[in-house]
Amino acid sequence: MSSASIYKAAWVIPVDQPPIENGVVEVHGSVITAVRSAMPHEACHDLGDVALLPGLVNAHAHLEFSHVPQPFQPAQPFTDWIRTLVAYRRQFTPGSTEPYAALNIGAIEALTSGTTLLGEIATSGWSELFMPTHGPRVIAFRELIGMRPEGIDQQIEIAEEWLTYKSVLAPVTYGLSPHAPYSVAPELLCGSVELAKRFNAPVAMHLAETRGELEFLAHGRGEFVGMLKSFGAWPEGGLPLGRRPLDILRTLADAPRALVVHGNYLVDDEVDFIAARPQMSVVYCPRTHEFFGHDPHPWRQLLKKGANVALGTDGRGSNPDLSLWNELLFLRERFPDVAPSTLLELGTRFGARSLGCEHECGTITPGKRADLVAVSLGQATAHDDPLEELFAAGHKAVRTFCAGVLG
Ligand SMILES: [Zn+2]
């Protein structure tokens, strides 16, 4: 049974058309049926002094770390941060449900901060059972790791089984995440992309994340070599040398959708390569980028060239929370010269496009799913532009609707 509701807000900001003062959004069941100005004395649910936006899209998270009270230390060198992360995982006894409870906690945290679509990296034991029934739609990318030839077939089997799942309890669909160039052999990357093509599934990969990764690809040396050897993961036959992120991008480009996670050190021809391929996106994780102290991120260059840029929180191992709204506030503060409308697009429709969901959500448009977030505006009316006002400090997501249901 579906029912009709009319939600009224001080501002409706559909993203695909100009903001509507004193606007309403009509919802029938899980679908938006109209976006318009309110009529006098119209019966409706008045959400009050809020801006009603499309639900936010967090294109990259690791919910398994949602119990972590603060980011892992040290942030540098990067391989020491990874070692802390691995030690965190290993503290749980096999069979313990504690790590999986974090998935649910993280999904709820994302939901309450306005996220209605989430790109999640799923490791062993991940299940839709831990996702809230009326929470964000989740694209669960199964993490694949393997540098040694003998482990690759097993990873491909895991990947194939993953892509055959059909969720029934929560809104989850499935993709693959060959982890990173320093943890995935070229054969495993190719095999993952082939599977993704067969199942029409998206692929997400950490890429161009650190300078150490560039050194590893080019020369087969640096901090990742020692780490792989200490984990018993170094391939005895060695690896092809003389590579760079562009070589990985060429393989990823064959996937139906490819999310280049981080992309901190993409250079000009790599930016051009992504910009020329609408199926590819870069996921910028602003506060994680800051945490690791990387060089300036090329996100504005990517946008200028026409590439699709989405935003992610990454996990709590490198970020204090899972709020995509807080990522937007962070960007507004750091980059006051970037138009607020652009920031909002990064967090909504560009995110939806990165995950292959641009026809279902990302804007408040009749026919799309009723994924909405109401952000408090308080009493401030200092700006004539509602988008300027929206990003004023202190504003928060106060209500989130996923497919028409208040989360
Ligand atoms: Zn990540």
- Mark whether 313 and 232 lie in a shared domain: yes
> How many C-beta atoms lie closer than 10 Å to residue 269's C-beta?
11
Compute the residue count for the chain. 407
What's the gap in Å between 381 CA and the centre of ligand 1?
38
In sequence order, what are the beta bridge partners of 141? 121, 175
Assess contact for 407 and 400: CB atoms under 8 A: yes
Indicate which CATH number applies to the domain containing 401.
Answer: 2.30.40.10
What's the gap in Å between 283 CA and the centre of ligand 1?
10
Tell me 294's DSSP state. P
In sequence order, what are the beta bridge partners of 308? 281
- Mark whether 12 and 40 lie in a shared domain: yes
What's the gap in Å between 320 CA and the centre of ligand 1?
14
For residue 202, what pLDDT is reported? 98
- Mark whether 377 and 346 lie in a shared domain: no
What's the gap in Å between 325 CA and the centre of ligand 1?
18
For residue 381, what pLDDT is reported? 57
What's the gap in Å between 201 CA and the centre of ligand 1?
19
- Mark whether 178 and 248 lie in a shared domain: yes
Count how many domains the chain has.
2
Place of tokens 């009270």: 69
**Spatial CA neighbour of 401 closest among 21, 31, 23:** 31
- Mark whether 19 and 127 lie in a shared domain: no
What's the gap in Å between 398 CA and the centre of ligand 1?
27
- Taking only the tens place, the pLDDT of each residue in 122-181 is 999 899 999 999 999 999 999 999 999 999 999 999 999 999 999 999 999 999 999 999
For residue 1, what pLDDT is reported? 46
Query: What residue numbers bound the domain in which 221 lies?
Result: 56-354
- Taking only the tens place, the pLDDT of each residue in 354-364 is 999 999 999 99
- Mark whether 47 and 184 lie in a shared domain: no
Instruction: Flag whether the pTM goes above 0.95.
Output: yes
- Taking only the tens place, the pLDDT of each residue in 187-201 is 999 999 999 999 999
- Mark whether 376 and 303 lie in a shared domain: no
What's the gap in Å between 204 CA and the centre of ligand 1?
9
What's the gap in Å between 127 CA and the centre of ligand 1?
18
Cα–Cα distance for residue pair 342/339, rounded to 1 Å: 5
Indicate which CATH number applies to the domain containing 93.
Answer: 3.20.20.140
What's the gap in Å between 232 CA and the centre of ligand 1?
22
3-state secondary structure of 291: helix
Residue 130: its H or E element: none
What's the gap in Å between 341 CA and the centre of ligand 1?
26
What's the gap in Å between 19 CA and the centre of ligand 1?
33
- Mark whether 368 and 301 lie in a shared domain: no
Ion ligand 1 contact residues with beta carbon within 5 A? 314
- Mark whether 199 and 277 lie in a shared domain: yes
What's the gap in Å between 94 CA and the centre of ligand 1?
23
- Taking only the tens place, the pLDDT of each residue in 6-65 is 999 999 999 999 999 999 999 999 999 999 999 999 999 999 999 999 999 999 999 999
- Mark whether 45 and 120 lie in a shared domain: no
- Mark whether 331 and 379 lie in a shared domain: no
- Taking only the tens place, the pLDDT of each residue in 229-247 is 999 999 988 889 999 999 9
What's the gap in Å between 134 CA and the centre of ligand 1?
25
For residue 386, what pLDDT is reported? 87
Strand pairing category for 308-311 and 372-376: unpaired
- Mark whether 313 and 375 lie in a shared domain: no
